[in-house]
Structure 1
């Protein structure tokens, strides 16, 4: 079953991908929003003000501010980092080059994730969903591959079937976010296997998705009512990928 709460899946020879989770308010901005807002540049502040829905505004502030703070660390001023958009809009570090490791942000009601890769990692994508969100597992028949549809429908209990659907959904979203195509890549063009494991595997059903990259996936519960997934691509000869999961709220508390 997927890893629960803060955890480390790592050995001494691994290259770690760090995943941080942060609280995001649905109404009045809280301490996490206040901490993250100070790191935004002018364009990000202007974009935040354009959001009419407070939930979306707070998610934007927390996601970008958290990414800046974590990428900059103690050596690079967070507000000096420049981002640019890749094809289909995926954000990436433009400068300074020494911190240009892959990163990705995901959010759902109440929680924001930020994944930051090792310098050896080529591609990275994350996704998160609230387990109690309103969704119909029958959407699997519309979007998933045949083996994944069979997996979701193997659960007779409605709650377990919904959880299975969200597990597959987050894995698929993490993969298409990693390759940077979003829903331009049909979700039925690839299939996940060993879905109940901490580290599922992928099978490309469309030959155009085949590459010499080595893919690693993690399915996990960042907090009790959320399920998430991360996808990381490396060169075949690179060390195995591991995951480190941390609570960004603790970072905020340390700076209070």
Structure 2
């Protein structure tokens, strides 16, 4: 992350699930807010996946911030987008499908991640006018069916990732923007460039059969690679936190 400015990790949520959600060691890692959210969920699998996603995110953020996972506090913005309380310099994105979890962190700007099964079939004729720009429809219509399916799925995960990065999700129409044939450049609905290099996009096929889409924004914060909590946070704020922790531990 110090080199590229962003990191994307993926894992099976079952591999991050504790032996029991009643494990007393789980509560301090999740924190009071997520502990309450966990026990408000009624579906057992949803509870398991929620706990695993928070553990993966906190351990990833802890590694980046060089701090213990239980010191990482998660909160949610309007619309449910997670963020790291006290570390606004780092943007966060989460996605899951089936047993796969994906976490993205970016210290230079916004980030969005999305994942789908690589063998998911999307009926092009049913979604083309809801998902694709005119330029994308022209390109996809000229492709053989199997190639069309692969291209459409890549387009889908990138559009999901980009709208997540903007904090819009499905509220933003997918026909309002498009991608070039290589799925690297952001385009207007008519096919002209819509950015000046500040956005980067990528899709990655996993051995387990999943496809991950990543949208990363570079807001021009520079190349400072230090993400340790002790140097990222305001010194006055950090001093107050350390003092408070010292008082509460006595």
For 1:46 and 1:151, the matched residues in 2 are separated by: 48
The equivalent of 1:126 in structure 2 is 113
The equivalent of 1:77 in structure 2 is 68
Partner residue of 2:10 out of 11, 15, 21: 21
Instruction: For structure 2, list consecutive stretches of 5 or more residues without a partner in the other structure.
Output: 224-250
For 1:167 and 1:175, the matched residues in 2 are separated by: 12
Aligned residues of 1:36 and 1:64 also touching (Cα < 8 A): no
- Higher share of residues assigned strand: 1
1:1-256 map, 5 Å: 15-24=4-13, 30-34=14-18, 38=26, 39-73=29-63, 75-95=66-86, 97=87, 100-117=89-106, 119=107, 121-133=108-120, 135-138=122-125, 139-157=127-145, 159-195=146-182, 200-205=184-189, 214-235=198-219, 238=222
The equivalent of 2:238 in structure 1 is none
Aligned residues of 1:21 and 1:222 also touching (Cα < 8 A): no
Report the 3-state secondary structure (helix = DSSP H, G, I; strand = E; otherwise coil) of the residue aligned with 2:53: helix
Residues 31-85 of structure 1 deviation map (CA, whole Å, 9 limit, x = unaligned): 4211897332233233233334444333322222111111112842322322332
Cα distance, 1:108–1:45 mapped onto 2, change above 3 Å: same
Cα distance, 1:236–1:71 mapped onto 2, change above 3 Å: closer
Question: What is the TM-score with the length of structure 2 in the denominator?
Answer: 0.73
Greater relative contact order (Cα 8 A, min sep 6): structure 1 or 2?
Answer: 1
- Higher share of residues assigned helix: 2
Cα distance, 1:83–1:231 mapped onto 2, change above 3 Å: same
Instruction: For structure 1, list consecutive stretches of 5 or more residues without a partner in the other structure.
Output: 1-9, 25-29, 240-256
For 1:31 and 1:50, the matched residues in 2 are separated by: 23
Cα distance, 1:134–1:194 mapped onto 2, change above 3 Å: closer
Aligned residues of 2:16 and 2:55 also touching (Cα < 8 A): no
Aligned residues of 1:22 and 1:62 also touching (Cα < 8 A): no
Report the 3-state secondary structure (helix = DSSP H, G, I; strand = E; otherwise coil) of the residue aligned with 1:217: strand
Aligned residues of 2:118 and 2:205 also touching (Cα < 8 A): no
For these two proteins, the number of residue pairs brought into alignment is: 213
Residues 86-144 of structure 1 deviation map (CA, whole Å, 9 limit, x = unaligned): 2332111112x3x8411211110121101122x3x111110000123354233122222
Larger Rg over CA atoms:
2
Cα distance, 1:85–1:222 mapped onto 2, change above 3 Å: same
